[in-house]
Amino acid sequence: MDWLLEIEDVCYTYPGSETPALNGLTMRVPRGKRCALLGHNGCGKSTLFLHMNGIYAPERGVVKWKGEAFSYRRTFLSQIRQKVGLVFQDPEQQLIASTVVEDISYGLCSAGLSDDEAKRKVEQALVRFGLEHFRERPVHHLSLGQKKRVALAGVMVLEPELLLLDEPTAYLDRLHTRLLMKELERIHREEGTTIVMATHDIDLAYEWADWVFVIEDGRLALEGAPNEVFARRDVLEGLQLGVPLLFDVWEALVPSFFPETEARPRNVADLKERLARCLVD
């Protein structure tokens, strides 16, 4: 497997705390994958993201981009933050300009582009994220879902190779969660962007991700393909994370309807289709 970003034995403790936020964490992000990052509040997910794009430097260990260790010099950090985009859970932490178009433009100021090229990219982002009608809207007049979309557009206008999303569906209703996930699917499919999404939603992670990381107490507890990770019921229940609802439903159905060797469905639509075929047969 081709690794885009590597974390090797990284440790970090916040000033004034005796408990490490990251405690010898080692993990590698596979290129081109949709990755889910799972763990309880305080397990180190947000701190990990802040190391992955160079906002924080580890006290011990190393972060590598395509095999090259982070240097933490201004030039390197400017470059890495264009390649590794981070969208915070709270868009208020990220939206700093007065209007939508100004905020999306902000990240391009240090990208070394001509004015015409920068304007072209901003216009593309406005259209791509359905924000063209909000271009002059003050950001504080937007809904939470719209603010999250502007924050995402402001990162994606830089065309990062790796997109980090910290709880992107937090506080969103079902409709806006579905719209956001549809947009992330487009970004992955059309732009080839590697995505790492921190989430508490086990069911969403199971349906969406190609690769799953589970963090506990600043360390990597589990990783692998979704069916492999969520099959570790004993470990996940020991961490009080549980397993996806579809796992429980499938296990209840298998003795009566399906052979034990049949692959588990990844979403409700797949389960419905299999049940329909089974009942017809």
Amino acid of residue 40: H
pLDDT in tens, 67-77: 999 999 988 99
pLDDT in tens, 46-91: 999 999 999 999 999 999 999 999 999 988 998 999 999 999 999 9
Angle in degrees, CA 150, 151, 156, rounded to 5: 95
Query: SS3 for the chain, per residue?
Result: CCEEEEEEEEEECCCCCCCCCEEEEEEEEECCCEEEEECCCCCCHHHHHHHHCCCCCCCEEEEEECCEECCCCHHHHHHHHHHEEEECCCHHHCCCCCEHHHHHHHHHHHCCCCHHHHHHHHHHHHHHCCCHHHCCCEHHHCCHHHHHHHHHHHHHCCCCCEEEEECCCCCCCHHHHHHHHHHHHHHHHHHCCEEEEECCCHHHHHHHCCEEEEEECCEEEEEECHHHHHCCHHHHHHCCCCCCHHHHHHHHHHHHHCCCCCCCCCCHHHHHHHHHHHHHC
Q: Is the pLDDT of residue 247 over 90?
A: no
pLDDT in tens, 248-275: 888 888 767 777 777 888 888 888 888 8
How much is the pLDDT for 113? 73
Helix axes 144-156, 174-191, angle to 10 degrees: 10
Domain 3-243, CATH: 3.40.50.300
Mean pLDDT computed over 153-181:
91
pLDDT in tens, 188-217: 999 999 999 999 999 999 999 999 999 999
How much is the pLDDT for 116? 83
How much is the pLDDT for 281? 62
Between residues 138 and 267, the one the model is more confident about: 138
Whole-number Å distance between alpha carbons of 44 and 217 = 7
Q: Is the pLDDT of residue 17 over 90?
A: yes
How much is the pLDDT for 249? 86
Q: What average pLDDT does the chain have?
A: 91
Whole-number Å distance between alpha carbons of 95 and 134 = 14
User: Would you state the torsion angle of the CA atoms of residues 142, 159, 96, 195, taken in this order, to the nearest 10 degrees?
Assistant: 70
Between residues 35 and 271, the one the model is more confident about: 35
Q: Where are the domains of the chain?
A: 3-243, 244-281
